[in-house]
Structure 1
Amino acid sequence: MFFTLQVTALAQSASREDLQKQLEAKRAELQKLEDQFLAPSDEDRTAFAELLKQPDTGLIRLLPREVYDQFPNKPAKLTIHGGYLSVGFAGADYGLMTTIGQVPLEEVSLEHPLAAFLASYKPPNEEADARLEHRSFRPAGKIIDGVTYQERLPVQLNTTYLLRSINYEESDVLVAFRVVRRDSDGSVVLAWKLLKKYPKPVLTRSQVAS
């Protein structure tokens, strides 16, 4: 009887080890499929081969929010929902965008006239001011020197955008990106180019009265 129990226990243990190995293999297989699902096409990589040779450039696929929620481990600094690109973050973090038409990314730099405001923009350091500034860019946006800056803009194929993304305690970057493909599942492929990385923004939190 004791011998039978030992054999049964060993068989169960081996079975669980096998199941664990199978689960790990399935996870690896699923990760591979997910990477393929999210990856830009070889056609897009070929089309932007020259751009991708430059530092701080890349291609990404952005999934619609209703699909994106199925991939919770992916960063969501820029989202797409209902045909609009959005950089509205939670809390005091925020972003502002504008479009510059069909200008190729290779021609976009800090010297571009429409990049001047975003390049010199100084985000507030006080939490109350940051939240107020965040609200000022939505929904209609803010017009500065005849240019409208918003946190939400429609997706336009073959259009180049400028984005200043401000995440307190994390990052502050100015990026140019271009919508190069819009697929049937609602996802879009963006070619992007980092124009400038700023010092990490620090936020002085508002004091709660006791």
Structure 2
Amino acid sequence: MKYTFFSFLLPFCLLANFEQAFAAEAESQSSPDSSQKSSQVESFDAVSEKLVNRQVNLIYRIQKALSNPDPNKMRAVGGQLITHTIVVESFLKRQYPKPQALCNQNPSENASVGFIAPLSPSSSKIYCSLYNSSRELSKLTPILDRLLSRRGELAIVRELPLVSGEKQSDLVLPMSPVSRPNLGKLATPHAILEPSVESNASLIIGKRKKRAIVNYVPPVQPAIKPPSEAIKILKNAEQLLAAAISVFPDQNNVQNLKKIEAKFDHLVYDVDLQEKQTYRKLLLMPNTGIFRVLPHQAYLRPLNTVENRSQKNVLDRYPFPVLGKPKGKFTPNLPLQIVNGKFQLLSQGVDYSFMADIGDIPLENLDSNLRTVDTQERNILVNYQPPSKLGELLTEKRKIITGKHQNLNVDAKLNNTYLVRNLQFQLPEIIAKNQIISRKQRRYIDQLLQMQSSDVIVAFRPVRRHSDGSYTVTWRMLQELKDPQIEDLEDYLKFQK
């Protein structure tokens, strides 16, 4: 493939670096000494390994850009693909000027023309693997160009500065400064100056909550699915490159960004293996576990940014611990987070909870009757009876949130044990979304009003504080109480007139 049009656009420093890498190799080719031939083989192995490593990571960056709404990411990998392809072709032609003949898939055809491989079998395998993979990747160029134009619908795509570095004035306002884009930063989204308000109006049963800003409609985050043709090309290129990696003496030298980022993500949001080994004795007990309690900011989307809502967020990758057995689509959990240095349970819908700090009591010493807990705290946690009417439940929740009933959150302290009475409800969709029941649906009222709920007492104990303010926490479920019921859901139905 020829890149006559783009060749003069390449950064000269990039090509210069590769030229230096190939200089020793070129000298070895011109020398008849056998020791120089050994040097040539070493140079080929070193440079080809570097190119394979870069191509592996380029494939991963393209995979990420295909799902990223930021046009700067798409434009960056598009340019990297062009420059990398040219550098690979230049290197391969230095080794042998006819890669099509060397990498011919038909050995009988090669034999008929008296073809003699200029490289050793292992080097030829690396050569052809790199060549075929690079050719496969080059098919992505028109696809990336097309996707870049679509990304321009989400964020501003600014003109790139001229290659030679001279300044270019604005045609309309010659005196105004020209904004130079930085592809390493996020592009400016079209929906800017997003106010710090709730992303959607939370529903109070029977009516909508008053909006903080009249008639404000928050921007809808895009759902981006990578084209199947692009995924297929990347998969083929990756498989072709695997043949070269298998030949390298030490395959660990190929640093895969995908694996590195996965380890870093695990380090930031999850517990490590050593912590699980440390508390192995506790984790062997039933209804126990260990997880990382994160600051609540980890679950929030930064304002004035665009994200792909189809991609897994932090909560999808590292969900809250499950308490008990899932009940259909309803999964009781422990939605614990850190807010301003305090432990707090994420409250959604009608859910609410009580929390108490009972001091330095190991989880192993607790029992289901809470005999080691102070009498007053035990009575609040064990003897509390939740209301059976929806309006009273919402009133109870407001009292807890405002501190009129019982503190919802407590200061986070290491090696203290906390007890939680956690009540969770999965209201019927027709109630939670204020849906109107059609005439045909009226015969299925009983099925439409089915709900799931959970009421548990769980203890947790922070055992390590991390530099980012998160905590490693061990937990143990002590009691699973009778599922609370709501008796007046039928009063909130809306029928079609």
TM range (shorter): 0.7 to 0.9
Query: Which residue does the alignment assign to 2:277?
Result: 46
SS at match of 1:100: strand
Q: Percent of aligned positions with the same letter in both sequences?
A: 27
User: Is the alpha carbon distance of 1:15 and 1:105 closer, same or farther for their aligned partners in structure 2, counting shifts above 3 Å?
Assistant: closer
Please tell me whether residue 179 in structure 1 is matched to residue 462 in structure 2.
yes
- Match of residue 37, structure 1, among 250, 253, 268: 268
Task: Give the superposition deviation at 1:202.
Answer: 3.0
Query: Which residue does the alignment assign to 2:234?
Result: 19
Query: Which residue does the alignment assign to 1:138?
Result: 401
Moved over 4 A (4+): 11-16, 20-23, 25-33
- Match of residue 98, structure 1, among 336, 356, 359: 356
User: Is the alpha carbon distance of 1:167 and 1:26 closer, same or farther for their aligned partners in structure 2, counting shifts above 3 Å?
Assistant: farther
Please tell me whether residue 200 in structure 1 is matched to residue 483 in structure 2.
yes
Larger Rg: 2
- Distance in 1 between the 2:269 and 2:399 partners? 33
Letter in 1 for 2:314: F
Task: Give the superposition deviation at 1:67.
Answer: 1.9
Larger mean Cα displacement after TM superposition, 75-84 or 13-22: 13-22
- Distance in 2 between the 1:105 and 1:46 partners? 17
- Match of residue 288, structure 2, among 23, 37, 57: 57
- Match of residue 336, structure 2, among 70, 75, 78: 78
Task: Give the superposition deviation at 1:150.
Answer: 1.9
Query: Which residue does the alignment assign to 1:68?
Result: 299
SS at match of 1:122: coil
Letter in 1 for 2:492: Q
Letter in 2 for 1:92: V
SS at match of 2:401: coil
Task: Give the superposition deviation at 1:187.
Answer: 0.8
Query: Which residue does the alignment assign to 1:111?
Result: 369
Deviations 1:102-145 (A, max 9, x none): 11111112222443432332222211111111122233353xxx
Letter in 2 for 1:48: Y
Letter in 2 for 1:180: V
CA contact 1:102–1:159 (8 Å) conserved in 2 = yes
Letter in 2 for 1:79: Q
- Distance in 2 between the 1:170 and 1:36 partners? 34
Bigger helix fraction: 2
Letter in 2 for 1:191: T
User: Is the alpha carbon distance of 1:209 and 1:39 closer, same or farther for their aligned partners in structure 2, counting shifts above 3 Å?
Assistant: closer
- Match of residue 391, structure 2, among 128, 143, 155: 128
Query: Which residue does the alignment assign to 1:157?
Result: 414
Task: Give the superposition deviation at 1:177.
Answer: 0.4
Letter in 1 for 2:345: V
User: Is the alpha carbon distance of 1:40 and 1:15 closer, same or farther for their aligned partners in structure 2, counting shifts above 3 Å?
Assistant: closer
User: Is the alpha carbon distance of 1:202 and 1:20 closer, same or farther for their aligned partners in structure 2, counting shifts above 3 Å?
Assistant: farther
SS at match of 2:382: helix
Deviations 1:127-183 (A, max 9, x none): 1111111122233353xxxxxx42111111111000011111242221000011111
- Distance in 2 between the 1:38 and 1:154 partners? 21
CA contact 1:98–1:162 (8 Å) conserved in 2 = yes
- Distance in 2 between the 1:208 and 1:21 partners? 54
Query: Which residue does the alignment assign to 1:145?
Result: none
Letter in 2 for 1:18: I
SS at match of 2:455: strand
Query: Which residue does the alignment assign to 1:189?
Result: 472
- Distance in 2 between the 1:21 and 1:189 partners? 41
Bigger strand fraction: 1
Structure scoring higher RCO (CA < 8 A, sep ≥ 6) equals 1
TM-score, structure 1 length as denominator?
0.76
User: Is the alpha carbon distance of 1:198 and 1:151 closer, same or farther for their aligned partners in structure 2, counting shifts above 3 Å?
Assistant: same
- Distance in 2 between the 1:105 and 1:81 partners? 24
SS at match of 1:150: coil
TM-score, structure 2 length as denominator?
0.35
User: Is the alpha carbon distance of 1:125 and 1:27 closer, same or farther for their aligned partners in structure 2, counting shifts above 3 Å?
Assistant: farther
Larger mean Cα displacement after TM superposition, 128-137 or 108-117: 108-117
SS at match of 2:419: strand
SS at match of 1:163: strand
Task: Give the superposition deviation at 1:19.
Answer: 2.5
Task: Give the superposition deviation at 1:45.
Answer: 2.3
Deviations 1:34-69 (A, max 9, x none): 344333234432332211110111111011111233
User: Is the alpha carbon distance of 1:128 and 1:160 closer, same or farther for their aligned partners in structure 2, counting shifts above 3 Å?
Assistant: same
Task: Give the superposition deviation at 1:208.
Answer: 7.0
SS at match of 1:176: strand
